[in-house]
A and B are shown apart, each in its own frame.
Chain A
Amino acid sequence: MKSGLMFVKLANPCSGEGAIYLFNVCLQQLFEIKVFKEKHHSWFINQSVQSEGQLHFATPMDPLFLVLHYLKKADKEGKFQPLDQVVVDDMFPNCTLLLKFPELEKFLHHVTEEKEIDSKKYYKYSKEKTLKWLEKKVGQTAAALKASHVPVGARVQSAAFVPGDQASGDKEEDYICYAHGLISEYLPKELSDDLAKY
């Protein structure tokens, strides 16, 4: 807390189950936390070998994916609502922290219709806008995968055994399909299917 870092449990937008996220209050940034797990591993730590322990990675993540989860849920009511009435969750009350990202308001229009009444903003989930936004995300991800030579074609056993030149044979649609799958890790299944069709 002193360092402005907070680990909180929020709903993973894909599975709906609780997952750990890191809020960096100073940087105004959200990180997802991934754990490196391999069945057989030990660690060399300084001059020793340790058989237990796990390695956690904190990776920057767009909070919009987490807010999307609540916007979609609220869409059932089919009406415009203030954001603080949408992002509510008695199972993961810390979701209100998401509203503290000033950037969020700026990007909400990617996935919502907006209305302003008496200088108060109301939002409603927009599927069309969301799909357009996600299409761009897939494009950016595909480009990043290609730039960093991630093999996307043939199945590989483990990233540690990939011979360097394998990625060169991968086709454009392999990258798009792979990027869609990767992004779907942050989407509810229904939206992932819509995006695949789109």
Chain B
Amino acid sequence: MDLRELERDNTGRCRLSSPVPAACRQEPCVLGVDEAGRGPVLGPMVYAICYCPLSRLADLEALKVADSKTLSESERDRLFAKMEEDGDFVGWALDVLSPNLISTSMLGRVKYNLNSLSHDTAVGLVQYALDQGVKVTQVFVDTVGLPETYQERLQRRFPDLEVTVKAKADALFPVVSAASICAKVARDQAVKSWQFIEELHDLDADYGSGYPNDPKTKAWLRKHVEPVFGFPQFVRFSWRTAQSILEKEAEAVTWEDSTADQEGSGKITSYFLSEGPRPRLPHRYFLERGLEPATAL
């Protein structure tokens, strides 16, 4: 899988896709959606879709794309290669969501939680397949959050597609298993070839599984925290594990809105009653730029 674009900029969202097989433009297709790397505190999350004509579903099954969770990394790589070989009837596309994108979404001024980010990414990928002319008729998705709300939201978004949201979909439906393999292969490769934009000294490549409860991962996090700048952007700052290590090991940082909330909790009347002559407010040009006349040096 060619991840050069991701290696060039791994701070945002990176979309990769295969060419669309001709058969998928002519015949009704089945499309599966799955994700990889939802739980880890390190590395990107990947959302992938995989699709093929309904008439070739049995061939996809014959590839033995069983539940990707039971497959080893090398078996996944092998299966993905086989899917590529069968490029005449199997197509795929995926979004690599960088740790930075995940963290800034979750920690931004306007909160954008992980479920919404996942839903929107899945919707974006299905729409992308449609835009590329794939004749999608059925969509199978693994659950993210509440199955009913997810099902209802996807069905409303794609009224003329048959949408099925089901737990363990990646074990039940071959197209979802195939999508899961694409996602995992992409994430494994992205993590392995991760380009650290920070100049890290004595970077330890062995960070364990990347899951927050893995002691090796925890040790790695503790070792790579910089007191002022925090972690490299390979880390999902918004994860509880990362935040608690920052709280313990890094410098305190006070943000504007965090104190404003406390101030805001004064009496409502304080906003209307003026205490004596109100001083002439500086013009907003200077207010907005935090500029005041210097009265002493």
Contacts and interface: CB of A to CB of B under 8 A. Distances in A.
B205 interface: no
B201 interface: no
A34 B292 contact: yes
Contacts of B259: 39-40
B265 interface: no
| Interface class of chain A by DSSP | mixed
B294 A33 contact: yes
A182 B295 contact: no
Interface residues of B, number: 21
A148 to B, nearest CB: 11
A150 B289 CA distance: 12
A49 B283 contact: no
A57 B291 contact: yes
- Interface size class on chain A is 20 to 34
B288 interface: yes
A184 B286 CA distance: 12
B282 A18 contact: no
Contacts of B293: 12, 15, 19-20, 32-35
Nearest to B289: A159
A19 B297 CA distance: 10
A17 B279 CA distance: 13
A58 to B, nearest CB: 9
A5 to B, nearest CB: 12
Given A17-B295, A34-B291, A181 B286 contact: no
22 contacts: A12-B293, A17-B295, A19-B293, A19-B295, A20-B293, A20-B297, A33-B297, A34-B292, A36-B289, A36-B291, A38-B256, A39-B256, A40-B254, A40-B256, A49-B228, A57-B291, A155-B284, A157-B288, A159-B288, A182-B283, A182-B285, A184-B283
Interface of A: 7, 12, 14-15, 17-20, 32-40, 49, 56-57, 150, 155-159, 178, 181-182, 184-185, 189
